[in-house]
Amino acid sequence: MSEQDIKVPDLGGADEVEVIELLVSKGDTVEEEDPILTVESDKASVELPSPFAGKITKLSVKVGDTLSEGDVVGTIDTDSAGDGDDDDDSDSDDKEKGKAESEKASDESKDEDTDSDEDQDDKQKEKESDSGKQKSSGKKDGGSRKETVKVPALDGFEDVPVIDINVSEGDEVGVEDPLVTVESDKATMELPSPYAGRIDKILVKEGDKLSEGDDLLEMTVQEDDGGDADDETGGESGSEKVDKAPKEEPEGKSGKDKKQAESSTSEETEGDSTYQMPSPGSKVHAGPAVRKLARELGADLTRVKPSGPKSRILKEDVEGYIRQNLKKAQEGGSVEGAGIPGVKLPDFSQFGEVERQPMSRMMTATATSMHKSWLNVPHVTQFDDADITEMEAFRKSQKQAGEKKGVKLTPLPFILKACAVALAELPQFNVSLDMERKEVVRKKYIHIGIAVDTPHGLMVPVIRDVDQKGLWQLAEEAQELAGKARDKKLKPAEMQGACFSITSLGGIGGTAFTPIVNTPEVAILGLSRADMKPVWDGEAFQPRLLLPLSLSYDHRAVNGADAARFTNLLAQLLGDIRRLLL
């Protein structure tokens, strides 16, 4: 017996590395260069290869240990190798192999950082990928080896119940064949086989709750390596191991419905699940360090665009993906992976002639802010009618006065004034929510935005201190701001600072609508066309002019009773405008 120490080689610049996986066990027979440990520095994960062929007689490290160059991690009996190793040459062999080993480890470490295109580097990277956490033991037995398949990353989910076991002990499976189906609260996912081989033992049962890294089943895997080409195409030969990302299915589809699920379109799938379905047979190529980083940052690797050789995801790709999503979030755009399925457009030209036009900046901005409000604000709309018969009589009586002043007195200034009174009486409508700091921001001023329909899109200029202004002044300002909006002459300051908004479609028509709250405001009043309606006065129906009010509010800030009080108060104020003076 000729026992040799297995030492940690040059670590390519890293002083210390942590053992993250043992790839062999005592008694295993390995070939020279077979990976025995996976270690991780702060920059990369690398596999430490065996410097000799032989039988592992001792492994003196465990997961979590910290290693430096030269540390002994175990011993190997090179006599058991049967590969003609000459004992007499062992010293020089040691040196030669140690050197080769050092260069290799060094290359691997650099590889992760430098994204080299060289073939050799690719192989190392593929090897690194193959050391993923599904492979907890790699015992060789002639032309086959035993593998314990572990639960892959589940997109952040934990304790997901098994709803179906898709295989039985003794079954032969191919790479990516579904082994087990699990169901999170968002989607059903199939956990695919990372190997082709035979199922020896199933270690889970229906109802078990699984998390990443749990043992799933044991397999005998054929030792016939499929090679690079197969690895890239997801072929099923030999011990080829593929991405561990689970295949997701539309909700409600079990593993038994796999064929049906596979034949469904990606649009259907996305509509049913918050996940982005990886294309059939697709897989993620990423090393353990990259996977670890993705887990820490909450990045779904199936959504990260790879830039490494052979479509490998690099650390920079994960960081770039996170940066991009952060930027989108800050700009108020929808964030990938935020649980909002994208809308896939069909090819409209198949239905008839179409023409594409770029969206204007204003349309893009409006779309973004509407979307932001719609997604962030739990909306409720309260409807009511205000009897404005007397108000309209008064307004019309002021027509001549208005002409003299050069101001048109529409219902809008009355409504602005009534809203200012209501905001002062029900100040819970004059707030914004700071959800980050869990604070309510109460405003001591009353500025109201008015939605203006312009040829270039919707604009919302703001009338300041509405509570301190008279009807004529409000009419004048509303007219002036609406004119500026239509002429694209509004200054940014004239569109900022609103506490509340009014959107009037009364001049156009309609009976009711549900406006979208202009967040961070917490309410918006929609006005539809006033109409003469019969109103029962206790003795007879009277013709009255009723103005439909539609108050949308943020239900986080305002409760339904207050919303009813608000529209009720508006109806009273507009029903008897003398009350606006009180």
Residues forming the active site:
555
Q: Residue 252 or residue 510: which is nearer to ligand CAO going by CB? A: 510
Start-to-end CA distance of the chain, whole Å, equals 105
**Alpha carbon distance 73, 5 (integer Å):** 8
β-partners of residue 500 are 448
Torsion of CA 278, 281, 282, 286, to 10 degrees: 120
> Binding mask 536-555 vs ligand CAO (x if CB under 6 A, - otherwise)?
-----------x--------
491 Cβ neighbours under 8 A, 6+ residues apart: none
- Closest contact distance (angstroms) between CB of 553 and ligand CAO is 16
CA distances from 433 to 90, 150, 377, 441 (A): 73, 44, 10, 6
Cβ atoms < 10 Å from Cβ of 456? 12
Minimum CB distance to ligand CAO smaller for 53 or for 412: 412
Binding of residue 74 to ligand CAO (CB under 6 A): no
Does residue 365 interact with ligand CAO by CB under 6 A? no
Contact present, 241 and 130 (Cβ < 8 Å): yes
| CA–CA distance, 248 with 275 (Å, rounded to integer) | 7
Residue 416 binds ligand CAO (CB under 6 A): no
Q: Tell me how many residues contact ligand CAO (CB under 6 A).
A: 19
Q: Does 482 bind ligand CAO (CB under 6 A)?
A: yes
| By the rule CB under 6 A, 449 interacts with ligand CAO | no
| Nearer Cβ to ligand CAO (213/457) | 457
Compare residues 284 and 549 and give the one whose CB is closer to ligand CAO: 549
Residue from 191, 221, 530, 571 binding ligand CAO (CB under 6 A): 530
Omega cis (within 30) before 534: no
- Closest distance of CB 237 from ligand CAO, Å: 59
Q: Does 451 bind ligand CAO (CB under 6 A)?
A: yes
Does the protein bind ligand CAO through residue 410 (CB under 6 A)?
A: yes
Q: Which is nearer to ligand CAO, 290 or 549 (CB)?
A: 549
**Among 389, 381, 383, 382, residue whose Cα is nearest residue 533:** 389
Residue 527 to residue 415: CA distance in whole angstroms: 9
Q: Which of the residues 486 through 525 are near ligand CAO (CB under 6 A)?
A: 503-507
Q: Among 177, 126, 175, which residue's Cα sits nearest to residue 313?
A: 126
Which is nearer to ligand CAO, 311 or 376 (by Cβ)?
376
529 touches ligand CAO by CB under 6 A:
yes
Q: How far is the CB of 288 from ligand CAO (least distance, A)?
A: 51
The reply on whether position 458 binds ligand CAO by CB under 6 A is yes
Residues 343 and 266: beta-carbon distance below 8 Å: no
CB of 268 to ligand CAO, least distance (A): 32
Reference 498, options 550, 547, 459, 549; nearest CA is 459
Question: Is 261 or 524 the residue whose CB approaches ligand CAO more closely?
Answer: 524
Compare residues 35 and 506 and give the one whose CB is closer to ligand CAO. Answer: 506
**Region binding ligand CAO by CB under 6 A among candidate stretches 48-56, 152-160, 236-244, 452-460:** 452-460
CB of 542 to ligand CAO, least distance (A): 19
Tell how strand 541-554 and strand 523-527 pair up.
Answer: antiparallel
CB of 512 vs ligand CAO, minimal distance in Å:
12
Q: For every residue of 26-43, which 3-state class applies, written as one string?
A: CCCEECCCCEEEEEECCC
Contact between 567 and ligand CAO per CB under 6 A: no
Residue type, 128: E
Residue among 33, 232, 453, 480 that touches ligand CAO (CB under 6 A): 453
Is position 527 an interface residue for ligand CAO (rule: CB under 6 A)? yes
Whether residue 525 contacts residue 549, with contact meaning beta carbons closer than 8 Å, is answered with: yes
- What is the spatial distance between Cα 238 and Cα 350, in angstroms, rounded to a whole number? 44
Is 222 a binding residue for ligand CAO by CB under 6 A? The answer is no
450 binds ligand CAO (CB under 6 A): yes
| Among residues 318, 452, 517, 569, the one that binds ligand CAO under rule CB under 6 A | 452
By CB under 6 A, tell whether 411 contacts ligand CAO. Answer: yes
Site for ligand CAO in 87-126 (CB under 6 A): none
What is the 3-class SS of 112-159, one letter each residue?
Answer: HHHCCCCHHHHHHHHHHHHCCCCCCCEEEECCEEEEEEECCCCCCCCC
Judged by CB under 6 A, which stretch of 57-65, 102-110, 257-265, 407-415 contacts ligand CAO? 407-415
Of the candidates 42, 240, 277, 250, the residue with the CA atom closest to the CA atom of residue 145: 240
Closest distance to ligand CAO from the beta carbon of 358 (Å): 21
C-beta of 129 vs 504, nearer to ligand CAO: 504
Neighbour tally for 17: CB within 10 Å:
28
N residues, the chain: 582
Tokens 């996305």 sit on residue: 270
Q: Which residue is nearest to ligand CAO (CB)?
A: 506
Residue 226 or residue 461: which is nearer to ligand CAO going by CB?
461
Q: Is 193 in the site for ligand CAO (CB under 6 A)?
A: no
Q: What are residue 55's DSSP bridge partners?
A: 29, 77
Q: How far is the CB of 370 from ligand CAO (least distance, A)?
A: 8
Instruction: Report DSSP state, residue 518.
Output: -
In degrees, rounded to 5, the angle at the alpha carbon of residue 356 between the alpha carbons of residues 350 and 361 is 150
Among 412, 490, 498, 499, binds ligand CAO (CB under 6 A): 412
For residue 463, state whether it binds ligand CAO (rule: CB under 6 A).
Answer: no
Q: CB under 6 A: which stretch of 319-327, 345-353, 356-364, 448-456 binds ligand CAO?
A: 448-456
The footprint of ligand CAO (CB under 6 A) covers 410-412, 450-453, 458, 478, 482, 503-507, 527, 529-530, 547
